[in-house]
Amino acid sequence: MASKQQCKYGAKCYRKNEQHLKDYGHPKQKAHEDDDEQPAKKKKKIVVEEPKQKLTTISDFFGKKKPNEKDGEKDSDEGPSRSTSSGAAGFLDESPKEDDEESPNEDDDQPSSPEDVKENIKRKFLVEMPHDFYDFWEFCKSKNSKHPEDAMSKDFGFQLVGPYDILAGKHKGVKKNRGGKRPNFLLHWRYYYDPPEFQTIVKSDDKNMYHLGYFRDDPAELPVFVGSNKTADSCIISPKGDNIFAAIKLTLDECLKSKNFDAVKKKKLQSFQEDLKDFANSKKYSLDMKTKSMKDRDKKVVCKTFHGAGMVVPLDENEVGYREVPEEPADLKKMFKAVVEAKSESDRDKKMEAIQELVTLVQFANDECDYGEGLELGLDLFSYGGEPLHTIISHLLPLAYQLLGRHEYSQIIEAHLKRRSRSANLSELE
Query: What's the start-to-end Cα distance of the chain, in Å?
Result: 58
Number of H helices, E strands in the chain: 15, 9
Sort strands 225-230 and 210-215 into parallel, antiparallel or unpaired: antiparallel
Which parts of 178-239 are beta strand (E)? Answer: 198-203, 210-215, 225-230, 238-239
Answer whether 159's CB lies under 8 Å from 150's CB.
Answer: yes
Q: Which residues contact 33 (CB under 8 A, 6 or more apart)?
A: none
Which parts of 118-224 are beta strand (E)? Answer: 159-160, 198-203, 210-215
Burial of 286 (0-12, 13-18, 19+ CB in 10 A): middle
Helix (H, G, I), strand (E, B) or coil at 74: strand
Within 10 angstroms of residue 170's Cβ, the number of other Cβ atoms is: 17
pLDDT of residue 263: 84
H/E stretch holding 25 reads strand 24-25
pLDDT of residue 2: 52
What span, in angstroms and rounded, lies between the C-alpha atoms of 201 and 187? Answer: 13
pLDDT of residue 163: 98
Q: Which residues contact 225 (CB under 8 A, 6 or more apart)?
A: 214, 215, 239, 240, 241, 242, 294, 297
H/E stretch holding 55 reads none
Burial of 301 (0-12, 13-18, 19+ CB in 10 A): middle
Task: Write the single-letter amino acid at 326.
Answer: P
pLDDT of residue 16: 54
CA 76 from centre of chain: 14
Q: Which residues contact 426 (CB under 8 A, 6 or more apart)?
A: 187, 188, 189, 190, 191
Nearest to 199 by CA among 208, 207, 190: 190
Q: What is the pTM of this model?
A: 0.77
pLDDT of residue 240: 97
Long-range interactions of 95-102: CB distance < 8 A, separation 24+? 95/14, 95/16, 96/14, 96/16, 96/391, 96/394, 100/76, 100/418, 102/181, 102/418, 102/419
Is the Cα torsion angle 281, 285, 289, 292 positive or negative in sign? positive
Sort strands 24-25 and 74-75 into parallel, antiparallel or unpaired: unpaired
Question: What are the sequence ranges of the domains in the chain?
Answer: 16-25+46-421
Nearest to 417 by CA among 56, 49, 75: 75
Sort strands 210-215 and 5-6 into parallel, antiparallel or unpaired: unpaired
Burial 126-136 (b: 16+ CB within 10 A, else e): bbbbbebbebb
What span, in angstroms and rounded, lies between the C-alpha atoms of 152 and 140? Answer: 8
The catalytic residue among 69, 106, 368, 387 is 368
- Block means of pLDDT (10 residues each) for the chain, 430 residues, are 60 57 61 38 39 36 39 39 35 38 46 82 97 98 96 92 96 80 94 98 94 98 98 97 98 84 86 96 97 97 97 95 97 97 94 96 97 98 97 97 98 97 93
pLDDT of residue 10: 61
Nearest to 43 by CA among 85, 87, 83: 87
Burial of 40 (0-12, 13-18, 19+ CB in 10 A): exposed
What span, in angstroms and rounded, lies between the C-alpha atoms of 239 and 173? Answer: 36
Sort strands 198-203 and 159-160 into parallel, antiparallel or unpaired: antiparallel
Continuous H helices in 283-406 = 292-300, 329-340, 345-367, 372-384, 390-403
pLDDT of residue 24: 66
Residue 106 is a catalytic residue? no
